[in-house]
Amino acid sequence: GYAAVVSNPAGAIDSSAATLVVSTPPAITRPPQSLVALAGANVDFNVAAGGTPPLTYQWQFNGADIAGATGPSLSVPSVAPTAEGSYTVVVRNVAGFITSAPAELKINQPVTISQQPQNQTAAVGGTATFGATALGTPPLNLQWKFNGVDIPGANTATLTIPNVQLANAGSYQLLAANAAGPVLSSSAALTVLLPA
Protein backbone atom coordinates (compact mmCIF):
# COMPACT_ATOMS: atom_id res chain seq x y z
CA GLY A 1 0.00 0.00 0.00
CA TYR A 2 0.90 3.66 -0.23
CA ALA A 3 0.77 6.36 2.48
CA ALA A 4 1.58 10.10 2.52
CA VAL A 5 3.06 12.31 5.24
CA VAL A 6 1.52 15.77 5.45
CA SER A 7 3.39 18.35 7.49
CA ASN A 8 3.33 22.09 8.35
CA PRO A 9 4.94 24.14 11.17
CA ALA A 10 2.35 22.74 13.59
CA GLY A 11 3.40 19.13 12.99
CA ALA A 12 3.05 16.15 10.71
CA ILE A 13 0.42 13.50 10.18
CA ASP A 14 0.43 10.22 8.25
CA SER A 15 -2.41 9.54 5.83
CA SER A 16 -4.28 6.28 5.88
CA ALA A 17 -2.87 3.60 3.59
CA ALA A 18 -4.04 3.61 -0.03
CA THR A 19 -3.98 0.62 -2.35
CA LEU A 20 -2.99 1.08 -5.99
CA VAL A 21 -5.18 -1.06 -8.26
CA VAL A 22 -3.96 -1.65 -11.80
CA SER A 23 -6.75 -2.84 -14.11
CA THR A 24 -5.93 -4.84 -17.21
CA PRO A 25 -8.24 -4.31 -20.19
CA PRO A 26 -9.96 -7.40 -21.58
CA ALA A 27 -8.16 -9.53 -24.16
CA ILE A 28 -9.61 -12.35 -26.23
CA THR A 29 -7.45 -15.46 -25.85
CA ARG A 30 -9.64 -17.78 -27.94
CA PRO A 31 -12.03 -16.12 -30.41
CA PRO A 32 -15.28 -17.75 -31.55
CA GLN A 33 -14.79 -20.01 -34.57
CA SER A 34 -16.69 -20.01 -37.86
CA LEU A 35 -19.06 -22.95 -38.31
CA VAL A 36 -20.88 -24.79 -41.08
CA ALA A 37 -24.07 -26.45 -39.87
CA LEU A 38 -26.91 -28.45 -41.33
CA ALA A 39 -30.24 -26.64 -41.23
CA GLY A 40 -32.07 -27.63 -38.04
CA ALA A 41 -28.90 -28.41 -36.07
CA ASN A 42 -27.95 -26.79 -32.76
CA VAL A 43 -24.73 -24.76 -32.83
CA ASP A 44 -22.57 -23.21 -30.12
CA PHE A 45 -20.08 -20.35 -30.25
CA ASN A 46 -17.55 -19.94 -27.45
CA VAL A 47 -15.02 -17.28 -26.46
CA ALA A 48 -12.21 -17.23 -23.91
CA ALA A 49 -11.02 -13.89 -22.55
CA GLY A 50 -8.69 -12.52 -19.91
CA GLY A 51 -8.35 -9.21 -18.08
CA THR A 52 -9.28 -7.78 -14.73
CA PRO A 53 -12.49 -9.41 -13.51
CA PRO A 54 -15.37 -9.17 -13.59
CA LEU A 55 -15.73 -9.62 -17.35
CA THR A 56 -19.07 -9.11 -19.05
CA TYR A 57 -20.10 -10.42 -22.45
CA GLN A 58 -22.54 -9.33 -25.15
CA TRP A 59 -22.99 -11.43 -28.28
CA GLN A 60 -24.01 -9.78 -31.54
CA PHE A 61 -25.49 -11.05 -34.80
CA ASN A 62 -24.58 -8.98 -37.88
CA GLY A 63 -23.61 -6.13 -35.51
CA ALA A 64 -26.83 -6.07 -33.44
CA ASP A 65 -26.99 -7.19 -29.80
CA ILE A 66 -28.63 -10.57 -29.17
CA ALA A 67 -31.00 -10.21 -26.20
CA GLY A 68 -29.96 -12.32 -23.23
CA ALA A 69 -26.72 -13.52 -24.87
CA THR A 70 -24.40 -12.34 -22.08
CA GLY A 71 -22.13 -15.26 -21.28
CA PRO A 72 -18.90 -16.70 -22.71
CA SER A 73 -20.99 -19.16 -24.79
CA LEU A 74 -23.79 -18.61 -27.29
CA SER A 75 -26.19 -21.41 -28.23
CA VAL A 76 -28.22 -21.10 -31.42
CA PRO A 77 -30.84 -23.86 -31.45
CA SER A 78 -32.35 -25.41 -34.56
CA VAL A 79 -30.63 -23.09 -37.03
CA ALA A 80 -32.56 -21.84 -40.03
CA PRO A 81 -31.23 -19.96 -43.08
CA THR A 82 -32.04 -16.69 -41.27
CA ALA A 83 -29.33 -17.58 -38.69
CA GLU A 84 -26.65 -17.48 -41.38
CA GLY A 85 -24.32 -14.52 -40.91
CA SER A 86 -21.66 -12.96 -38.70
CA TYR A 87 -21.40 -13.49 -34.92
CA THR A 88 -19.18 -11.37 -32.65
CA VAL A 89 -18.87 -10.92 -28.90
CA VAL A 90 -18.01 -7.72 -27.00
CA VAL A 91 -16.06 -8.36 -23.78
CA ARG A 92 -15.98 -5.54 -21.18
CA ASN A 93 -14.45 -4.78 -17.80
CA VAL A 94 -13.59 -1.65 -15.79
CA ALA A 95 -10.62 -0.92 -18.06
CA GLY A 96 -12.41 -1.04 -21.41
CA PHE A 97 -13.81 -3.41 -24.00
CA ILE A 98 -12.80 -5.50 -27.00
CA THR A 99 -14.83 -6.96 -29.86
CA SER A 100 -13.92 -10.38 -31.22
CA ALA A 101 -13.19 -11.07 -34.85
CA PRO A 102 -16.38 -12.25 -36.57
CA ALA A 103 -17.27 -15.94 -36.64
CA GLU A 104 -19.32 -16.80 -39.72
CA LEU A 105 -22.19 -19.28 -39.60
CA LYS A 106 -22.97 -20.99 -42.89
CA ILE A 107 -26.12 -23.11 -43.15
CA ASN A 108 -26.14 -26.19 -45.36
CA GLN A 109 -29.59 -26.75 -46.82
CA PRO A 110 -30.22 -30.45 -47.48
CA VAL A 111 -31.04 -31.51 -51.02
CA THR A 112 -34.64 -31.65 -52.11
CA ILE A 113 -36.02 -32.80 -55.45
CA SER A 114 -38.47 -30.05 -56.36
CA GLN A 115 -39.36 -31.51 -59.76
CA GLN A 116 -39.43 -35.29 -60.12
CA PRO A 117 -38.64 -37.07 -63.41
CA GLN A 118 -41.70 -38.12 -65.42
CA ASN A 119 -42.46 -41.37 -67.25
CA GLN A 120 -41.46 -41.35 -70.92
CA THR A 121 -42.45 -43.31 -73.98
CA ALA A 122 -40.23 -43.53 -77.06
CA ALA A 123 -40.09 -45.62 -80.20
CA VAL A 124 -37.05 -47.69 -81.08
CA GLY A 125 -34.57 -45.32 -82.72
CA GLY A 126 -36.20 -42.27 -81.14
CA THR A 127 -35.03 -40.03 -78.30
CA ALA A 128 -36.12 -39.99 -74.65
CA THR A 129 -35.38 -37.16 -72.20
CA PHE A 130 -35.75 -37.21 -68.43
CA GLY A 131 -35.43 -34.10 -66.30
CA ALA A 132 -35.45 -33.33 -62.59
CA THR A 133 -34.75 -30.27 -60.45
CA ALA A 134 -32.62 -30.58 -57.31
CA LEU A 135 -32.26 -27.76 -54.78
CA GLY A 136 -29.89 -27.33 -51.84
CA THR A 137 -26.63 -25.73 -50.79
CA PRO A 138 -24.09 -26.01 -53.62
CA PRO A 139 -22.13 -27.79 -54.80
CA LEU A 140 -24.70 -30.38 -55.85
CA ASN A 141 -23.49 -33.69 -57.23
CA LEU A 142 -25.92 -35.32 -59.66
CA GLN A 143 -25.97 -38.91 -60.90
CA TRP A 144 -28.64 -40.61 -63.02
CA LYS A 145 -29.31 -44.29 -62.42
CA PHE A 146 -30.84 -46.93 -64.68
CA ASN A 147 -32.48 -49.81 -62.80
CA GLY A 148 -30.45 -48.74 -59.73
CA VAL A 149 -27.06 -48.65 -61.49
CA ASP A 150 -25.09 -45.45 -62.18
CA ILE A 151 -25.11 -44.30 -65.81
CA PRO A 152 -21.52 -43.22 -66.62
CA GLY A 153 -21.25 -39.52 -67.45
CA ALA A 154 -24.91 -38.78 -66.66
CA ASN A 155 -24.25 -35.98 -64.17
CA THR A 156 -26.58 -33.14 -65.17
CA ALA A 157 -30.22 -32.36 -64.36
CA THR A 158 -31.30 -33.64 -67.78
CA LEU A 159 -30.73 -37.13 -69.14
CA THR A 160 -31.11 -37.62 -72.89
CA ILE A 161 -31.13 -41.09 -74.42
CA PRO A 162 -30.62 -40.93 -78.20
CA ASN A 163 -31.34 -43.88 -80.51
CA VAL A 164 -33.53 -45.64 -77.93
CA GLN A 165 -33.38 -49.44 -77.99
CA LEU A 166 -35.45 -52.11 -76.19
CA ALA A 167 -32.59 -52.50 -73.70
CA ASN A 168 -33.19 -48.90 -72.54
CA ALA A 169 -36.66 -49.75 -71.20
CA GLY A 170 -36.71 -49.62 -67.41
CA SER A 171 -36.54 -47.35 -64.39
CA TYR A 172 -34.61 -44.05 -64.21
CA GLN A 173 -33.79 -42.03 -61.08
CA LEU A 174 -31.67 -39.01 -60.22
CA LEU A 175 -29.41 -39.14 -57.16
CA ALA A 176 -28.58 -35.64 -55.88
CA ALA A 177 -26.14 -35.02 -53.03
CA ASN A 178 -24.40 -32.20 -51.19
CA ALA A 179 -22.56 -31.89 -47.87
CA ALA A 180 -25.84 -32.57 -46.04
CA GLY A 181 -26.28 -35.97 -47.71
CA PRO A 182 -27.92 -37.65 -50.73
CA VAL A 183 -31.53 -37.75 -51.93
CA LEU A 184 -32.94 -40.08 -54.57
CA SER A 185 -35.74 -38.94 -56.88
CA SER A 186 -38.81 -40.99 -57.55
CA SER A 187 -38.55 -43.56 -60.35
CA ALA A 188 -39.59 -42.70 -63.88
CA ALA A 189 -40.23 -45.47 -66.38
CA LEU A 190 -39.13 -45.53 -70.00
CA THR A 191 -41.48 -47.52 -72.19
CA VAL A 192 -40.00 -48.45 -75.56
CA LEU A 193 -42.35 -49.04 -78.49
CA LEU A 194 -41.53 -51.25 -81.44
CA PRO A 195 -41.98 -49.60 -84.82
CA ALA A 196 -45.31 -50.36 -86.44
- pLDDT reading at 171 higher than 80: yes
3-state SS of the chain?
CECCEEEECCEEEECCCECCCCCCCCEEEECCCCEEEECCCCEEEECEEECCCCCEEEEEECCEECCCCCCCEEEECCCCHHHCEEEEEEEEECCEEEECCCEEEEEECCCEEEECCCCEEEECCCCEEEECEEECCCCCEEEEEECCEECCCCCCCEEEECCCCHHHCEEEEEEEEECCEEEECCCEEEEEECCC
Q: What is the pLDDT of residues 85-115, one digit of tens each?
A: 999 999 999 999 999 999 999 999 999 999 9
Q: pLDDT category, 180, cuts 50, 70, 90?
A: confident
Q: pLDDT category, 8, cuts 50, 70, 90?
A: low
Q: What is the pLDDT of residues 25-56, one digit of tens each?
A: 999 999 999 999 999 999 999 999 999 999 99
The pLDDT > 70 percentage for the chain reads: 89
- pLDDT reading at 6 higher than 70: no
Closest CA to 45 of 58, 64, 27: 58
Q: pLDDT category, 195, cuts 50, 70, 90?
A: confident
